[in-house]
């Protein structure tokens, strides 16, 4: 009888306390983003020559199953799955693509549904083909949580080819840089926000999912009326951007807080050594799903916080006051979860509470009074899981 009661306690992860002295409020007026116009001259001609599919049709065309596997060693897991792995297709172990960002229909709509229950995961190809393939997004269909399935779509930049035909390319940043790292994402309404490490935020539109020829490995217009996207069947062309006035802030990850109004996105920096990284929060306009801007199309942060932690891969604010951060922990074959509440004297550091290589964060509430789920994912080959932990356990 004694063991019956004591054994369940072994799964709990007890926190270390660290001084919160390193948390500081910074002047938010210094953190601005300029909103571009909609890329009408590039997106509309492309959408006119390619079939436009919605989220439902893409999900109906899902071509890989997500195995229902739970991340080993992680406590308080309430939901989880992994990635397809076979002799001819291996997202679980590939070194060509690395998963990074996470968001879902629970972020997009208050109902939690956008055509269906969907999770999105971004992947980068920095170490593959010189990064020129950029980033892709996995659409995971969770209409039946016991049988999740998915399909990838390539994020692309719309342009015109040498002959003036509508075309596109993978999002490679510059000739001397790798491709789009896509370290974090937020899906809000019809829009998908993706961070660009040095350049700000790129925006895509779920109403503009275009189908291309998946029989070849070309990119853009390849002749004979055909368009290809490195073998992918679907593309999401970028439709606008938000850029900082100058480089200096690293746009490493991103999350949404729709638990309080105004809804807002939180953008944070990663560094393996700095103890002054920042979190900047920008309010959203629920009528347009764009960032709230001035008449001159400038979005100014509503809050900026400095924190003392290194190796932060994801952060989120819940209920307007409690912050959760994922950390790749040095000298530990696991990841950590850090929590801080405004006004508290201490951080709580749950060392080893997550899988090694934890990334972005997304919060999902399962209905009124239902489970509070904190979703994250792990990036390392052979150890890739997408999972939710119980928010109330931390």
Please check the confidence at residue 106 and state whether its pLDDT lies above 70.
yes
Segment 175-199, tens digit of pLDDT: 556 689 999 999 999 999 999 999 9
d(CA 212, CA 254): 29
d(CA 201, CA 184): 10
Instruction: For residue 250, give the 3-state DSSP assignment.
Output: coil
Q: What number is the average pLDDT over the span 37-56?
A: 97
pLDDT given for residue 368 in this prediction: 66
pLDDT given for residue 8 in this prediction: 36
Q: Order the strands of the 16-19 sheet from edge to edge.
A: 16-19, 346-354, 335-341, 322-328, 312-318
Model confidence at 387, pLDDT cuts 50, 70, 90, reads: very high
Preceding omega of 21 cis (within 30 degrees of 0): no
- Output the CA angle 179-181-182, nearest 5 degrees: 125
The average confidence (pLDDT) of the chain is: 93
Segment 327-381, tens digit of pLDDT: 998 888 999 999 999 988 899 999 999 999 999 999 999 866 778 999 999 999 9
d(CA 175, CA 238): 19
pLDDT given for residue 177 in this prediction: 62
Tokens, residue 304:
């900026």
Please check the confidence at residue 110 and state whether its pLDDT lies above 60.
yes
pLDDT given for residue 2 in this prediction: 34
d(CA 249, CA 252): 9
Segment 246-293, tens digit of pLDDT: 889 999 999 999 999 999 999 999 999 999 999 999 999 999 999 999
Cross-strand bridge partners of residue 279: 268, 305
In the chain, domain spans:
19-393
Q: What number is the average pLDDT over the span 138-162?
A: 96
pLDDT given for residue 6 in this prediction: 34
Please check the confidence at residue 18 and state whether its pLDDT lies above 90.
no
pLDDT given for residue 329 in this prediction: 85
Instruction: For residue 48, give the 3-state DSSP assignment.
Output: helix
Higher pLDDT residue, 366 or 296?
Answer: 296
Please check the confidence at residue 111 and state whether its pLDDT lies above 90.
yes
The one-character DSSP state at 292 is P
Tokens, residue 197:
């490490």
pLDDT given for residue 371 in this prediction: 87
pLDDT given for residue 15 in this prediction: 86
**Nearest alpha-carbon partner for 324 in 375, 271, 367:** 375
Distances (CA, A) of 152 to 83, 97, 172, 217, 376: 12, 12, 18, 15, 18
Tokens, residue 156:
């692309």
Q: What number is the average pLDDT over the span 308-326?
A: 97
Q: How far apart are the two ends of the chain, measured CA to CA in Å?
A: 28
d(CA 42, CA 238): 9
Please check the confidence at residue 121 and state whether its pLDDT lies above 70.
yes
Please check the confidence at residue 16 and state whether its pLDDT lies above 90.
no
pLDDT given for residue 74 in this prediction: 96
Q: What number is the average pLDDT over the span 117-123?
A: 98
14-31: b (≥16 Cβ within 10 Å) or e:
ebeeeebeebeebebeeb
91-112: b (≥16 Cβ within 10 Å) or e:
bbebeebbbbbbbbbbbbbeeb
d(CA 262, CA 341): 19
pLDDT given for residue 4 in this prediction: 35
Q: What number is the average pLDDT over the span 227-254?
A: 96
Please check the confidence at residue 1 and state whether its pLDDT lies above 50.
no
Please check the confidence at residue 326 and state whether its pLDDT lies above 50.
yes
Please check the confidence at residue 171 and state whether its pLDDT lies above 70.
yes
CATH node for 19-393: 2.120.10
């Amino acid at each position: 009888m004694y063991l019956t009661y004591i054994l369940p306690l072994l799964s709990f992860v007890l926190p270390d306390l660290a001084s919160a002295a390193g948390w500081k409020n910074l002047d938010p007026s210094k953190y601005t983003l300029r909103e571009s116009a909609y890329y009408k001259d590039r997106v509309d001609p492309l959408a006119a020559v390619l079939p436009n599919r919605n989220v439902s049709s893409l999900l109906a065309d899902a071509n890989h199953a997500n195995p229902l596997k739970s991340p080993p060693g992680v406590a308080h897991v309430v939901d989880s799955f992994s990635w397809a792995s076979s002799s001819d297709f291996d997202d679980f172990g590939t070194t060509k693509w690395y998963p990074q960002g996470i968001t879902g229909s629970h972020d997009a709509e208050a109902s939690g549904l956008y055509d269906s229950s969907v999770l999105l995961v971004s992947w980068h190809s920095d170490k593959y083909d010189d990064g020129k393939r950029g980033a892709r997004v996995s659409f995971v269909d969770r209409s039946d949580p016991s049988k999740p399935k998915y399909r990838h779509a390539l994020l692309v930049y719309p342009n015109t080819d040498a002959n003036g035909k509508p075309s596109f390319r993978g999002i490679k940043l510059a000739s001397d840089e790798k491709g789009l790292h896509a370290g974090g994402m937020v899906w809000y309404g019809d829009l998908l926000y993706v961070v660009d490490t040095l350049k700000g935020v790129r925006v895509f539109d779920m109403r503009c999912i275009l189908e291309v020829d998946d029989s070849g490995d070309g990119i853009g217009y390849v002749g004979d009326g055909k368009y290809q996207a490195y073998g992918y069947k679907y593309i999401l062309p970028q439709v606008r951007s938000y850029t900082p006035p100058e480089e200096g802030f690293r746009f490493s990850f991103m999350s949404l807080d729709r638990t309080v109004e105004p809804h807002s996105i939180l953008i944070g920096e990663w560094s393996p050594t700095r103890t002054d990284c920042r979190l900047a929060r920008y309010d959203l306009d629920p009528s347009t799903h764009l960032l709230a801007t001035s008449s001159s199309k400038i979005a100014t942060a509503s809050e900026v916080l400095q924190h003392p932690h290194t190796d932060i891969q994801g952060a989120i604010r819940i209920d307007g006051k409690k912050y959760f951060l994922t950390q790749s922990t040095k000298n530990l074959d696991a990841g950590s979860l850090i929590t801080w509440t405004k006004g508290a004297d201490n951080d709580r550091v749950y060392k080893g509470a997550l899988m090694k290589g934890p990334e972005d964060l997304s919060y999902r509430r399962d209905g009124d009074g239902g489970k509070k789920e904190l979703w994250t994912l792990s990036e390392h080959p052979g150890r890739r899981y997408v999972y939710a932990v119980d928010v109330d356990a931390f």
